[in-house]
Chain A
Amino acid sequence: MSAQAVNLTYREAMRQAIREALLSDERVFLMGEDVGAYGGCFGVSKGLLEEFGPERIRDTPLSESVFVGAGIGAAMGGMRPIVEVMTVNFCLLALDQIMNNAATISHMSGGQFEIPLVIRMTTGAGRQVAAQHSHSLEGWLAHIPGLKLLAPATLADARGMLAPALADPNPVLIFEHGGLYNAEGELPDGAGAVDIERAAIRRPGADVTLITYGGTLPTTLQAAEELAGAGVEAEVLDLRVLRPLDERAVIESVARTHRAVTVDEGWRSGSLAAEVSARIMERAFYELDAPVQRVCSAEVPMPYPHHLEQAALPQAQTIVTAVQRMLGIGA
């Protein structure tokens, strides 16, 4: 990186993005459980209450439905709310508001109302917090027309996705994988907005396309590295935007590599991985040299012990094995 590069974590990148949004637009405010005095359950909003005050950094009661719904109403009333739902697990308590109001009102009213709302939530497993705190429900929410879904997996996306999400007149859900917050790296000083429409190739390769998003991007990159050691060049495509999907990027990559493996921390049945696989079948069937494979989480509520949790989650080795089997090499 250049001389102006700064070292920071994913958590700090996200905090910078929120801070910049608060500084640049008086209509922006943050609300959610423990975003203020506590500093955010994952420390993302630490220091913001002190800097911006309780009117703009609003601690809420444990009432997901009303504070998500209030975000929708406030957005319709001219504000630009950032609602933090502590984790995706708790968004289940606000699904009525997300699905029946945020996702429907524009269409149901014949386009009379816009809902420029951002809902951020932590997602995913890997920290031994057991079944009720380890869900990956992006695929569920990506099922819903009217919502946009973003999954920042890199520092640049953590830093740069919020501003365009706030500028978007639609409800945008941002999923921050809990395993990424401590990820550290360099960003150019002054890094800013990124696009929120396209998937990104994180590693080019000619032999197989590994399609993933969010928390499984590092795992998938690790698998690609191991495959490279065995002479297989895997292209890693980070979906970044889970709804609407950048179908074109998927199809173009598969047309180059002729093989695809989708990697998804969600459960396999009815997953985003299934959706991507179906689209490849619909649009690029004759490009394929092998059936599309999926590496997903085991279909169990997440167990607590480390060895079982790791056995349930997509691992680099599982991805490598899937690719090798597809290519008829290795074990």
Chain B
Amino acid sequence: MAPLEREHGLHLLAQMLRVRRFEEKCVELYSAAKIRGFMHLYIGEEAVAAGTMEALEGEDAIVATYREHGHALLRGVSAGAIMAEMFGKLEGCSRGRGGSMHLFDAATRFYGGNAIVGGGLPLAVGLALADKLQGRRRVTACFFGDGAVAEGEFHESMNLSALWQLPVLFLCENNRYAMGTAIERYESETDLALKASSYEMSAWSVDGMDVRAVEEATRRAAAEVRDGGRPCFLELRTYRFRAHSMYDPDLYRSKEEIERWREHDPIPALSAELQAAGMMSDADLQELERAAAEEIEAAIAFAEAGTLEPVEDLERFVYAEPSAAGAGAGAAHPPGALA
């Protein structure tokens, strides 16, 4: 692994802290009924989003799941737009129409929060197909959980992307549970990289609790996708410390198991590493915490001050509006290479 550098190490820590503190605040806001509906927390898994996003470029596309607050935030969607979305406000990144599970942002090529397990994979295959057909060297990064591996859409997507040599980076966030069912209880083969490699693509596993390992692996994989013009599969072995969703009483796993994984919490792990190397003082850490808290407070204020979409607009956007041509598609944006 590349040697630890102070500036980059602090940046990675800051990114993970931003997500952690954002979501801790989300829990409070959920209890206060400011956020409603389904909400799935990423707490424990932050190293995956933080490490992978480092390896992606602005032109790349992201397809995410319903556990995607961290991905959106670290992709560059503003904390205010995400929080306003969860408040159901017009200023949200999806005008409040999507909520926690459906964060979208055309400007950062963030193609959603998809709440159907496996449902985003075919979409990612298509985005990559569009890039290939238009001669663009871009990566479509597709996040999904271990549970998605049991879906037919996973297998169809792996096969087609490998068959057609499409630039998709499959990022499997293996947190060991499909909602409440442990991986050993639903997969005949639990080595997911081995399973993926049967589709004739490079596939390997990485410690998803180690943000630097995640970044390095993703850089290698993204380069293979971008330069090789073919798909690649990464299994990121991680763990969620919180329940599946706010409705989940978390009865299917032991407290001891959760505690064992908490010992691998990526945030204290990187903090300790930076401090041991003399690269981070207590004041540095306090500054990172302060900056995260400030960002989140501003996001909440932005969401609170947001407005509710007029009910008269209920049926807008069911069909495309002539003036609302999307950034990724629409007649107003023909791709230059093929105009």
Contact = CB atoms under 8 A, between A and B. Distances in A.
Interface stretch (A100-108, A218-226, A259-267, A294-302): A100-108
B134 interface: yes
Q: How large is the interface on A (under 10, 10 to 19, 20 to 34, 35 or more residues)?
A: 35 or more
A75 B333 CA distance: 12
A251 to B, nearest CB: 21
B153 A113 contact: no
Interface stretch (B155-163, B241-249, B287-295): B155-163
A61 interface: yes
A114 B325 contact: yes
Contacts of B61: 77
28 contacts: A27-B338, A29-B133, A61-B160, A67-B160, A69-B125, A71-B126, A73-B126, A74-B130, A74-B133, A75-B126, A75-B329, A76-B123, A77-B134, A96-B116, A101-B114, A105-B104, A107-B317, A108-B94, A108-B102, A109-B94, A109-B97, A109-B317, A110-B94, A111-B321, A112-B327, A113-B106, A113-B328, A145-B318
A73 B119 CA distance: 11
Q: Is chain A's binding surface mostly helix, strand, loop or mixed?
A: mixed
B157 A110 contact: no
A78 B329 contact: yes
A65 B326 contact: no
Q: For chain B, which range describes its interface: under 10, 10 to 19, 20 to 34, or 35 or more residues?
A: 35 or more
A247 to B, nearest CB: 16
B226 to A, nearest CB: 16
A116 B329 contact: yes
Nearest to A67: B160
A239 interface: no
B325 A66 contact: no
Contacts of B316: 107, 111
Contacts of A70: 122-123, 125-126, 129, 160
B121 interface: yes
Given A29-B133, A69-B157, A113-B111, 17 more contacts: A27-B335, A65-B153, A68-B122, A69-B121, A74-B129, A74-B133, A75-B329, A76-B111, A76-B126, A79-B130, A97-B119, A100-B119, A107-B317, A109-B97, A111-B320, A114-B329, A146-B318
B112 interface: yes
A78 B129 contact: no
B122 A169 contact: no
B123 A69 contact: yes
Interface string A22-41: 00001101000000000000
Interface of A: 26-27, 29, 55, 58, 60-61, 63, 65-79, 81, 96-97, 100-101, 105-116, 145-146, 148, 167, 169-170
Contacts of A114: 320, 325-326, 329-330
A207 B149 CA distance: 60
B217 interface: no
Contact of B156 (A65, A100, A112, A148): A65
Nearest to A99: B116
Given A110-B317, A146-B318, A105 B329 contact: no
Contact of A61 (B105, B126, B159): B159
10 shortest A-B CB distances, which residue pairs? A73-B126, A69-B122, A77-B130, A110-B95, A109-B104, A66-B156, A70-B126, A169-B320, A63-B156, A111-B317
